[in-house]
């Protein structure tokens, strides 16, 4: 039969493996997000604003807005994800 100490050691090993797996998954997710940020460097959206509102007459105008970022941001996010993937959980 296993002693209580052996059961606790097995539990700790399983907990460490679970932590490692979670950190690897987190690293991979952050890497993928960084890759998406690198490939898609911005987006556009349209808002509708009232220009004239006189009684029943209403004139609106579509206004284009753009949001952009540098691909370097994606590279930094990918580096963080890679760091988490490689160095996430240190074994003691």
In a domain, 92, yes or no: no
In a domain, 76, yes or no: yes
Domain count, the chain: 1
Across the range 74-79, mean pLDDT stands at: 95
In a domain, 78, yes or no: yes
Q: Is the pTM of this model over 0.75?
A: no
CA-CA distances (angstroms) from residue 11 to 6, 50, 86? 9, 64, 24
pLDDT tens per residue, range 38-64: 999 999 999 999 989 888 889 999 999
Q: Name residues whose C-beta falls within 8 Å of residue 35's C-beta, 6 or more positions apart in sequence.
A: 74, 78
In a domain, 58, yes or no: yes
Q: Is 10 exposed, middle or buried (0-12, 13-18, 19+ CB in 10 A)?
A: exposed
How far, in Å, CA of 48 to CA of 62, rounded?
5
Domain that holds residue 41: 4-87
Across the range 77-92, mean pLDDT stands at: 83
């Amino acid at each position: 039969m296993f002693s209580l100490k052996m059961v606790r050691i097995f539990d700790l090993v399983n907990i460490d493996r679970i932590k490692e797996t979670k950190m690897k998954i987190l690293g991979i997710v952050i890497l993928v997000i960084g890759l998406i940020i690198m490939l898609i460097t911005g987006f556009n959206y349209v808002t509708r604003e009232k220009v004239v509102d006189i009684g029943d007459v209403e004139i609106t105008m579509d206004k284009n807005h753009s949001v952009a970022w540098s691909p370097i941001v994606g590279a930094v996010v990918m580096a963080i994800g890679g760091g988490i993937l490689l160095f996430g959980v240190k074994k003691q």
